[in-house]
Amino acid sequence: MTVAEFNTCVDQYADNLYRFILKTVRDKDIAKDIVQDTYEKLWLKVSEVESSNAKSYMFTTGYRTMIDFIRREKKKQVWNDGYEDLHSHSKQYNDLKQILNEAVDKLPEDQKAVILLRDYEGYEYKEIGEITGLSESQVKVYIFRARQFLKNYIGKAEVLV
């Protein structure tokens, strides 16, 4: 990949990568850092990566960088002794988007990543598999399970209004 192709890649995919990372980590500064780290890793491998594979390489690297960050942060967290019911909610809301965001946050990281890549970013199953390192059938299973969880978490739409 040439420098011009690298710059084009940055221009074309930076916003999509940032949105994907931001939806998962929910912190603008952290998302910017992860995207920056991703482009730094791409720059270090610029001679090895072909421009046709740059998008896949970026999302794969960004995804793995994000997962590494999340795992480090989980080790730092202090866990409460109490148990919470993670599969339901009892609050009254009128904002479906807020409820959906809360539900997506409760998904396991793998399911959250594949559902965001599929439903928010519009990637095909094969592309999601390349990005996450999962097989296409496993991607489909994770998306199905995530959608089932979201359906159960949100419940009936009539109750929300």
Question: What's the pTM?
Answer: 0.58
Specify the CATH architecture of the domain 3-76. Answer: Orthogonal Bundle (1.10)
CATH (residue range 96-156)? 1.10.10.10
Provide the greatest CA pair distance for the chain: 55
Domain boundaries, the chain: 3-76, 96-156
| Confidence at residue 87, expressed as pLDDT on a 0 to 100 scale | 47
- Our CA dihedral for 105, 109, 115, 121, rounded to 10 degrees, sits at 90
| C-beta separation of 28 from 77 below 8 A | no
- If you average pLDDT over residues 71-100, what whole number do you get? 60
| Confidence at residue 35, expressed as pLDDT on a 0 to 100 scale | 92
* DSSP string for 67-117: HHHHHHHHHHPPPPSS---TT------S-HHHHHHHHHHTS-HHHHHHHII
